[in-house]
Structure formats: structure tokens, C-alpha cells
Amino acid sequence: MTGVEQKPARRADGPREDLRRVGRGWNRLTGRAGRRWRRLPIPVKAVVVLVVYLALAILVPSNPVAHVMAPQSGWSNVLSEEIGVYVLMAIGLNVVVGQAGMLDLGYVAFFAVGGYSIGILTTHDHLNFWEILPIGIAAAALAGLLLGAPTLRLRGDYLAIVTLGFGLIISQAATNLNFDGGAQGISAIPHPPSIGHIKAFTYGVTDFKPYWYLVLAGIFAAIWAVRRLERSRVGRAWVAIREDEDVAELMGVPTYKMRLWAFAIGAAVGGAGGVFFATQANHIDPTLFSYQVSILVLAAVVLGGSGNMAGVVLGAFLVVWLPERFRGFDKYRILVFGLALVVMMIFRPEGLLPSRRRRAEMSEPASGGGMGAPLVAPTLEEAEA
């Protein structure tokens, strides 16, 4: 594409170039670490993961950390009920948005399916958390299939609007229907049954640390599962679809099926988030499943670095933690958040920790859907970045 108007040549040095160099150095470093990690034998990997899990499980909810992270509110509560659940949802949405490149603005629907499955099944049928977790995940995946089957044939923008509509009506439908408690919602959702008398597995009302261990385990499981998928045939098909659907189709990728898969898997993870959330919160009602949740999770994915696991985890953490930490600015938090999204999209649209492939796409207007209008041709350094 030829440049329509030429920008004045940019100076090669200066703060912006420094920043870029730092970014490139960081990318090289993480790339190297990733390659080394993949070469490790499986038992070593397992040990490392276990150590990291234990470290996170024990250190993060501890008092000194809590003092720094959330002096005004119950840290371990925030950690498991908000941060953990949002991280989980961001991992799920990342499959849809970051991997397969579909824009889902109604992700809260699957969160609601998960939450309502545990709410209804515990209060009506007296199943316990462990029995419901797979049911909730399956129900959300099924909802994903049902919603995706008709809509995934549409092109991107229409998918966005259909999912947005669906996300909006889900809370309204939940309010209107009776079997799910209507506007009052469902109260007294039981906590998971305790396992033995071990303190770490006793799910009570006051101590939230066991929930954190639980959610963290869920996050690890989700990361593991999604990672495996990303590196499989399915994952490669997703990336191919994201980069260019027509070419992918021509190369023999069953695009519709693969998109449907991505949608269902993302939904399943969101459903798990809903189950985890409801069992801790004890109570669910339609207002918890508002469309703001979808937008927050999407913002987490995009802010963190869509397509990159570490990025979306960081994004979800920031989206929940920042408003919680700076409660003094409570009034202005959504305003600041909104402006931050704009600034971020202008200066670092690929997110805080971008995936390298995604980064290349973002800086290249021809693919990944430029904005229709002709754009100033990227300078050589921009195309490289």
C-alpha cells in the first residue's frame, strides 16, 4: 500500500526509540525464556509448576502482601472472588478474541450460565460443588455451541453486535424468568463441601484462603488446557483464521468448525468462572451479570495483550485490582479506566505484554482489518516492531 501523505521523517533517536529498544529487549528475553521452558523435560516442568502454584497460593494471600495490595478491603476475599474469577474469564475470552480473533461482547452470558447452573442445581437438586463444576462447564460450553452455531457464520462486526445483544438480554431474561429466582436471584448457594478436616480444604464463610487455592488451581488447569490447545492443530487453525479467514479456508482449515470450537471452549472457561464465583458469593442475582462485566473482561484481554497468556492474566489482575486498591478515587475509577483504554489504544494497541505474532499484525494495517480508510503507510521501523 502506498502512503497517501508522507509524514515528516521521524528522528531515529529520542525517548520513543529508547522505549522501543527496551520493548524489543524484553521481547527477546521472554522469547528466550519461553524456548528454554519448552525444552525442559516434563517431570521438571511439573515440579516447577507445583512450586509456582504453592508459592502463589501461600505468599499472595499472606498478610504483608495484603497490607500493600489492599489496605482497605479484605484482600483474600478480593483475590479469590474478584481477581481469580476475572483472570479465569480473561483466559477463556482470550481463546475467542486473542486466538481466533472473534469479537465477543457478551461473554458475561457464559459466566451467568455457570453461576445459574450451580445456583439452581444446589438449591433444587442438592448436588454439591464438585458434581456441579463439570456440569456447569458443560452447560456453558453447550450454550456457546447453541449461540455460536447460528451466529458464527456471520462476519466479525455482526458477531460483535449479536453477542452484545445476547449479553444484554441474558440478565433481562434471568430477571423475567421464574425458575431461577427472578429479580431476587438465588440465595444460600452452598460453599463447596470441605474435604476431611484439613484447613486448606475447609470452605467456610470467614476464611477465604481455601477459595483462593481452589480458584488458583482452576486457573492453572485452564492455562494448561488452553496452552495445549494453542499448540495443537486446533490452535494453529485459530491463528490461521485470525490472520486471514479466506486463506485459511482455502488451505483446508474448516473455519466454521474451528471458530465454533473456540467459542465453546471460551464459553466453558467462562462457565467455570461463574461456578467458582457463585459458590463463594453465596448469592447470585441478574444484576451481577450485567454487560459491564463483558466489557471489563474484554478490556482485561486487550489491555494485557490479547493472544498472550501472561498478558491477559496481568490485564485481568490490573482491571480488578487497580480500582480496588485506589478506593480513595472510587468516584473517578471508571472515568480513569475509560481514558486509560483510549490512551492505551493510541500508544500501545497490542497491550502491555503482547504476543509477538499479534504485535506484528497490529502494526500492519493491511491485515487484521485496517479501518477501511487509507492509512499512512507504516515506516519501516513500525512494520518491524
Partner 1 sequence: MNFHSFVAEFWPSTVDGLVIGFIYALFALGYTMVYGVLKLINFAHSEVFMIGTVAMLGVINVFNIHHAQSGLALVGLLLVCAVAAMIGSGGVAVILEFVAYRPLRRRGSSRLAALISAIGMSFALQEIAALWILKRRDSRPLPSIMGHNVVFTIGKAQVTTDDILVVVVSLIMLFGLDRLVGATKLGRGIRAVAQDPETATLMGVNLDRVILYTFLIGGLMAGVAAVLFEVHYSYTQFNVGQLPGIKAFTAAVLGGIGNLRGALLGGLVIGLLEFYGSSLFGTEWQNPVVFLVLVVVLLFRPTGILGESLARARA
- Beta carbon nearer to partner 1, 23 or 349: 349
Its sign, for the CA torsion 142, 147, 153, 155, is negative
- 37 residue type, one letter: W
Cell numbers of 118, please? Answer: 450451580
Question: Count of alpha carbons within 13 Å of 200, Cβ hemisphere only?
Answer: 9
Name the phi and psi angles at 74, rounded to 5. Answer: -65, 105
For residues 23 and 29, what is the distance between their CA atoms, to the nearest angstrom?
A: 10
- Beta carbon nearer to partner 1, 155 or 227: 155
- Residue 162: CB minimum distance to partner 1, A: 6
The contact set with partner 1 (CB under 8 A) reads 1, 4, 97, 103, 150-151, 153-158, 160-162, 164-166, 168-169, 172-173, 175-176, 295, 298-299, 302, 306, 331-332, 334-335, 337-342, 344-346, 349, 361-365, 368-376, 378, 382
- Residue 285: CB minimum distance to partner 1, A: 16
- Beta carbon nearer to partner 1, 161 or 225: 161
- Beta carbon nearer to partner 1, 225 or 385: 385
Q: Which residues pair with 186 in a beta bridge?
A: 284
- Residue 380: CB minimum distance to partner 1, A: 13
- Residue 16: CB minimum distance to partner 1, A: 12
Three-class SS of residue 253?
Answer: coil
- Give, in order, the Cα–Cα distances in Å from 122 to each of 85, 118, 135, 170, 230: 20, 6, 12, 21, 34
- Beta carbon nearer to partner 1, 49 or 146: 146
- What's the gap between Cα 31 and its chain centre? 22
- Residue 175: CB minimum distance to partner 1, A: 7
For residues 355 and 12, what is the distance between their CA atoms, to the nearest angstrom?
A: 25
Cell numbers of 93, please? Answer: 475470552
- Per the CB < 8 A criterion, the answer to whether 116 and 180 are in contact is yes
- Residue 138: CB minimum distance to partner 1, A: 23
- Beta carbon nearer to partner 1, 156 or 254: 156
- Beta carbon nearer to partner 1, 45 or 155: 155
For residues 325 and 243, what is the distance between their CA atoms, to the nearest angstrom?
A: 38
- Per the CB < 8 A criterion, the answer to whether 286 and 174 are in contact is yes
- Beta carbon nearer to partner 1, 279 or 306: 306
- Residue 281: CB minimum distance to partner 1, A: 23
For residues 102 and 238, what is the distance between their CA atoms, to the nearest angstrom?
A: 10
- Residue 34: CB minimum distance to partner 1, A: 24
List, in order, residues 6 or more apart from 182 with CB less than 8 Å away.
174, 175, 176
